[in-house]
Amino acid sequence: MNRLPAPLRRRFIAWSALMLGVLGLGAFQVLPDLALETDVLALLPRTQQDRDLDAALQSFSAGLARQQIFLVGAANPDGARRAAEAFARELRRSGQFATVRLELDGDLRRRADVYLRHRAWLLAPEDRNLLAAGELDRIRNRALRAAYTPMGLMQPVSLTEDPLGLTGRFLSSQVPALGRARIEDSMLTVDHGGHRYLLVVAEVQGSAFATEVQDRVLPVLEAARDAARAAAASAVDIVSSGALRHAAAAADRARREISTFGTLETLAVVLLMVAVFGALRPLLLGALTLALAVGSAFTIVHLVFGQVHLLTLVFGSSLIGSVIDYSIHFLADRFRDPDRWTPADALSHVGPAILLGLVATLIGYVVLALVPFPGLEQIAVFCMTGLVVGCGSVLCLYPVLARASGRQPPGLGPRVGRAIDEYLRRWRWDAMKIGVTAALAVAVAFGLARLRVEDDVRSLQHSPPQLVTEEQRVRELLGSGLETRFFLVTGDTAQAALESTEELSRTLDDLVRSGALAYYQSVTRSLPSLAQQRRDHDLLSRTVYAPGALLEQVMADLGFEPAAIENRRREFAGQTEPMGIDEWLAAPASEGLRHLWMGRAGDRYASIVTLGGIRDVAALEGAQSGSARLIDRVAETSGILGRYRHIMSWLLAAIYCVAGLVLLARFGWRAVPRMLLPSIAATLTTLGLFGWLGVPFNLFTLLALWLVLGLGIDYGIFLHHGRASRPTAILSVTLSACTTLIAFGLLAFSATPFIRSIGTTLLVTITLSWSFVLISSLTGLPRDSKREEKIS
């Protein structure tokens, strides 16, 4: 310590202070409200629209994601009812759900109220058509039959107040189609396979994707299941559907994998380091570097983005590879001259190579951060922070901390380095090797031609089979599943949006009749546009309430006095105002529908029409118009994945060029191909191999290739710098390749497809990259070999 130059000491103190500051920020700002995101879709850019509308769509989707459907079933109806009641009670008691619905709203009159106040302006679509077509006899006959037969008992509004049944028909038309579920004893019921199932719908508080919400809700679900079983006193079958359990399963698996892989990784790295360095200090230094890098990266990303995505963490583990590389390069430098080595020597000897490697890698991540893709920004910020902190820690802390122990380091490392070096020195580019290389190149080219691209987002998310089966059973029981497609209707004014929604509804009515669609849900069946209400009011005035018109005829036929007829006319005339949007939204009647009215979004107004039981997507696409757009989040997302895969492929090529130029400026044109070509060749060979093996190429494969870019360049630079002490440089590069392989080789066994994609790619590419870079940097070219032979 005393012999250490003052600048190094100052640097050590400043960096330590900085690290303490960042970690303190992490502990006090980030840890208290940690948010881990697991939805792959959250990493994708918003659909290409104006921001406000997008935000509105986002909140609509988030609302859907909060919904959980449960079907509680038992062999007998009483058991099912008791089970469902106990289940719902337990959910309510937990306080984790914003709403839990089993029974219907008791006060139904409240719901009808707003419609009754405006019934002079409302008509059921069928009645509107009859009145407009002048088929007044049908309405008259219907009214007379209602007065004399049991049919009249079914009318929701009394015969005196609603002699023609028009109000009653409007109210009845508010009952939409609901798949297989029907209402039985005021609960939604499905009978299937001798079982009765009752529907419980609950909405969680907070995001279904937030781990802390999942951690609170899952035990409640278990408790509710137990309560249901206990209450039914018989076998209870509970199936559910909703994003929460899928998200929780994904998060849980990720946590499990991270802890399993993390433990194995740590063990393997510990063994490796102890075997090579023969002391604990290098290991502790590596762990410290890693902890600082990951801790700071996590803190900074959380501060910048408000949460950290699972994928970012996976990439974070890539830092294990790169950051540990810096410390390995630094520490392995000791093998150059084990007896006289000091940390300050290492700083001057490998410091420039480490810095140069960092710069080349950072270029890649800066470009990644500039791509307007929220997930990539996060990953880039995470990696850049981690790399800078890791590199800074090695360069600033190690000169003080990495004192060599008095003991001789084990001979294993140098032996491996020497063995590889000797093998490489014997390497000759003879005709056979060149032939094999050429043959391989051809095979790779054919493999590349066979490479299958896979952008379907569904193939990247993977849920446990049990949840998928449950989801299918819910779909089977209800006759419809959660449809991800819906229509977005916009207009310059609120009324224009409603009118466009009505227009779309008419088209969809035809599609329902033709079987392309089972049903749809829109606000306009309950909340007609003002224009429609005025037309209906006008129609009613002319055909029903005019002197001598339908009302008078029917009421006179039934025997009502003129005074009673006058009462009805007065009531009609007394309702001078059509039903407004705000009034409807505020009324109990709109509950369950009002989420479809998005209102003002930016400078436009929007409403959503949800769809059920889609059978013909092309027909739905045909129903689009200037103001009504079919939104398909899944297809859009897959499209976006594809587009970004495309852009990022070009970016990768571009960054190889930029990195090439940087290296060219530093090392000259002869050295650069030796540093860059191995990574490029490894990348192409991997893809060629994937082509032959049928492993699909996707955005996540590409992300892994970005990582290879950085690591591969590091190897190249390092071997170039270390030409003077080849065995040490070889050992250094081999050690770092091994740690990376340990880290990513394990990811290849992940159950999450997109993580597996990254793991497999890296496993293959790093192995190739390591062997290629050794061959290309440390063996002579065919001509060089001969020259070197002569010299030696």
Partner 1 sequence: MTRVLFVVVGLVVLSWTPLAGAQTATEPMSGEALLRGPLARPAARLAGAQVLRGQFTQQRHLSELPRPLIASGEFLFAKELGVYWHTRKPFDSVVTLTPSGIVERAEGKETMRLSADDQPGVRMVARVFLALFTLDMASLERHFRVIAESGDGKSSRWSIRLEPRGDALASVFVHANVSGDEDVEQVVLTDARGDRTVIDLTAVQYSSTPPSATTRALFEPASP
What phi and psi values does residue 197 have, to the nearest 5 degrees? Answer: -115, 135
Query: 308 in helix, strand or coil?
Result: strand
Q: Does 153 bind partner 1 (CB under 8 A)?
A: yes
Say whether residue 567 binds partner 1 (CB under 8 A). yes
Does 616 sit near partner 1 (CB under 8 A)? no
Q: Does 725 bind partner 1 (CB under 8 A)?
A: no
Residue type at position 688: G
Contact region for partner 1 (CB under 8 A) — 377-385, 531-539, 553-561, 747-755? 553-561
Sole binder of partner 1 in the list 133, 175, 431, 665 (CB under 8 A): 175
Count of residues that bind partner 1 according to CB under 8 A: 69
Query: 555 near 164, Cβ under 8 Å?
Result: no
Interactions with partner 1, residue window 131-150 (CB under 8 A): 141-142, 144-145, 147-150
Best CA proximity match to 116, nearest among 718, 729, 588, 698: 588
Stretch that binds partner 1, among 39-47, 177-185, 735-743, 773-781 (CB under 8 A): 177-185
Nearer to partner 1, 34 or 468 (CB): 468
Q: Which of 58, 39, 699, 45 is nearest to 372 (CA)?
A: 45
481 binds partner 1 (CB under 8 A): yes
For residue 662 the two structure tokens come to 């940087």
Rounded to an integer, what distance in angstroms lies between the CA atom of residue 247 and that of residue 38?
7
Taking CB under 8 A as the rule, does residue 4 contact partner 1? no
125: contact with partner 1 by CB under 8 A: no
- Residue 507 and residue 514 in contact, taking contact as beta carbons nearer than 8 Å: no
- Residue closer to partner 1, measured from CB, 147 or 401: 147
Query: How near is the Cβ of 523 to partner 1 at its closest, in Å?
Result: 10
d(CA 202, CA 208): 12
Report the residue from 561, 571, 577, 616 that binds partner 1 according to the rule CB under 8 A: 561
If binding is defined by CB under 8 A, does position 166 make contact with partner 1? Answer: no
For the chain, the first-to-last Cα distance in angstroms comes to 43
Identify the H or E element spanning 499: helix 494-514
Burial of 768 (0-12, 13-18, 19+ CB in 10 A): buried
Binding-site string for partner 1 from residue 68 to residue 97, where x marks contact by CB under 8 A and - marks none = -x----------------------------
Which pairing describes strands 604-614 and 517-521: parallel, antiparallel, or unpaired?
antiparallel
Residue 239 or 292 with smaller CB distance to partner 1: 239
Helix locations, 306-401, DSSP H: 310-332, 343-370, 374-401
The answer to whether 483 touches 270, Cβ cutoff 8 Å, is no
673 binds partner 1 (CB under 8 A): no
Instruction: Determine the distance from the C-alpha atom of residue 461 to the mean position of all C-alpha atoms in its chain, rounded to a whole number.
Output: 8
| Choices 180-188, 287-295, 346-354, 439-447 (CB under 8 A): range interacting with partner 1 | 180-188
| DSSP designation for 103 | B
Q: Which member of 7, 106, 194, 668 binds partner 1 (CB under 8 A)?
A: 106
Shortest distance, position 397 Cβ to partner 1, whole Å: 55
Candidates 15-23, 260-268, 476-484, 766-774; binding stretch for partner 1 (CB under 8 A) = 476-484
- The two tokens of residue 156 are 């929701």
CB of 326 to partner 1, least distance (A): 52
Tell the smallest beta-carbon distance from residue 145 to partner 1 (Å): 6
In degrees rounded to 5, what are phi and psi of residue 729? -65, -40
- Residues 649-668: x where in contact with partner 1 by CB under 8 A, - otherwise, as a string: --------------------
Among 398, 560, 584, 770, binds partner 1 (CB under 8 A): 560
Is residue 631 near partner 1 by the rule CB under 8 A? Answer: no
* Residue 549 makes contact with partner 1 by CB under 8 A: no
In the complex, the smallest distance separating the C-beta of residue 159 from partner 1, rounded to whole angstroms, is 6
Q: What's the rounded Cα separation, in Å, for the pair 507 and 526?
A: 17
SS (H, E, C) 411-471: CHHHHHHHHHHHHHHHCCCCHHHHHHHHHHHHHHHHHHHHCCECCCHHHCCCCCHHHHHHH
Residues that bind partner 1 (CB under 8 A): 64, 67, 69, 101, 104-109, 111-112, 141-142, 144-145, 147-154, 156-160, 171-172, 174-179, 181-186, 188, 199, 201, 478, 480-483, 519, 521, 558-561, 563-564, 567, 588-589, 591-593, 595-596, 610, 612
